[in-house]
A and B are shown apart, each in its own frame.
Chain A
Amino acid sequence: MPKAKAKTKTKTKPTRAPSAGPRFELDRLDAVPALVGDHRDFLIVAGLAGTARDIAALTDDGRHTYAMAGAMGAATAMGLGLALARPDRRVLVITGDGELLMNVGSLATAAVLNPPNLSIVCVDNGYYGETGYQQSHTSLGVDLERIAAGSGIAATRTVETADQIEDASRLLREGNGTSFVLLRVKPTDPPAIRRIMDPAACRVRFRENLLGHP
């Protein structure tokens, strides 16, 4: 063992091959809008913190969005309930790595039912940005696309480079089963935006917009 150790010792930093590991290089400010595309194609449920702000910025705090600021871990199951209730509409869940990890079993729950109108995006920056950028599991080896695939979601993608966005964006719209896209981004701040934080007001406006009554 000591011999091997001496052998690998080198003064120059080894350059990592592109395939050596996850690449957290895209900027969420560009990549999230590019991936979601025309947001009016979806009813949107956003998890707390970063993705709530991504979506509020993209949709101008739209009435077809329900973006959380608490209930961490609720986004996927909430989107599932909405998708089952509205088979006539496409539902997009967009959430962060930390939020999804908190209830990662909800991927299994969604996969078993496999509603064709449910698409899930995880914006994975490998950090808990809202609480001061502590490292999350996903920058320490946990791969949420593999967990989604292992849960039984057949249509999954990882997007790490700009040229992978178009295909994934199409998948979110055209899947004939539940789809999952892991969007790896740099650990940088989401858009700064003020949005309505009253969860009851957001419920009422979502229902009024969709159903015509509160």
Chain B
Amino acid sequence: MAAKKAKNAQADGPRWAHELYDLLRENGVTQFAYVPDAGHKVLINRSLDDPDAHSVRLTTEEEGVALCAGADLGGGRAVLLMQSSGVGNCINFLSLVKGAQFPFLTLVSMRGDFGEGNPWQMPMGQATQPVLEAMGVVCIRVERPEDVIPSATAGITMAFKSGQPVAILLTQKLIGAKKF
């Protein structure tokens, strides 16, 4: 079943998600680090299917912040895929990014956002952007499918050309709210 799913990864999911994966690969991103989340399903499956990329399962999102910094030390590029709740796990490690001026790109699938039906998701979802901004991360919110690629392109440029920490927030308006 899992193998079948992986095989079909190219066909599943919204078109913007596939374009986003292609965009990241075209821009030299070879390490995709994540704690699994439904909002990142396409990118995760594409990275698993990609023989030229490393698909890195994390036990906690903060590992991904350190991984991205390590990739940069070696001249490589990584991206951290996480749900908004994972942002809370990253806070102290973002001091590594800010203090050492590591380029940093994260794609955050939002929960506790537009139309959330799980009250447990609300506190961190509502705090996600303020917390990121408090640690110096530039946040770009995306609400419409046609804005994904322009926003990601801007984020990639700001991260890897200007050396900034950037979070692309994929809102629940874009990805839909989980049904409860």
Contact = CB atoms under 8 A, between A and B. Distances in A.
A109 B31 CA distance: 13
A206 B100 CA distance: 12
Interface stretch (A2-10, A28-36, A170-178, A196-204): A196-204
B54 A86 contact: no
A82 B69 CA distance: 8
B56 A199 contact: no
A151 to B, nearest CB: 10
Contact of A207 (B60, B68, B75, B92): B75
B61 to A, nearest CB: 10
A82 B75 CA distance: 8
A148 to B, nearest CB: 14
Contact of B59 (A66, A85, A108): A108
A55 to B, nearest CB: 15
B76 A86 contact: yes
Given A78-B67, A112-B57, A113-B56, A210 B74 contact: yes
A85 B73 CA distance: 8
A66 B71 contact: no
A81 B66 CA distance: 8
Contact of B70 (A78, A108, A202): A78
A79 B67 CA distance: 7
Interface string A112-155: 11000000000000000000000000000000000000000000
Interface string B43-72: 000000000001011111011111111111
A16 to B, nearest CB: 36
Given A77-B70, A210-B74, 11 more contacts: A74-B66, A74-B96, A77-B63, A79-B70, A82-B71, A82-B74, A85-B31, A105-B60, A200-B101, A203-B102, A207-B73
Interface of A: 43, 45, 66, 68, 70-86, 89, 103, 105-106, 108-109, 112-113, 199-200, 202-203, 206-207, 210-211
Interface of B: 30-31, 54, 56-60, 62-76, 78, 92-93, 95-96, 99-102
25 contacts: A43-B73, A43-B74, A71-B92, A72-B92, A78-B67, A78-B69, A81-B66, A81-B68, A81-B73, A83-B70, A83-B74, A84-B70, A84-B76, A103-B60, A103-B62, A103-B63, A105-B58, A105-B59, A105-B60, A105-B63, A109-B56, A109-B58, A112-B57, A113-B56, A207-B75
Nearest first, the 7 A-B pairs at minimum CB distance are: A81-B70, A85-B76, A105-B59, A85-B74, A199-B100, A77-B66, A81-B67
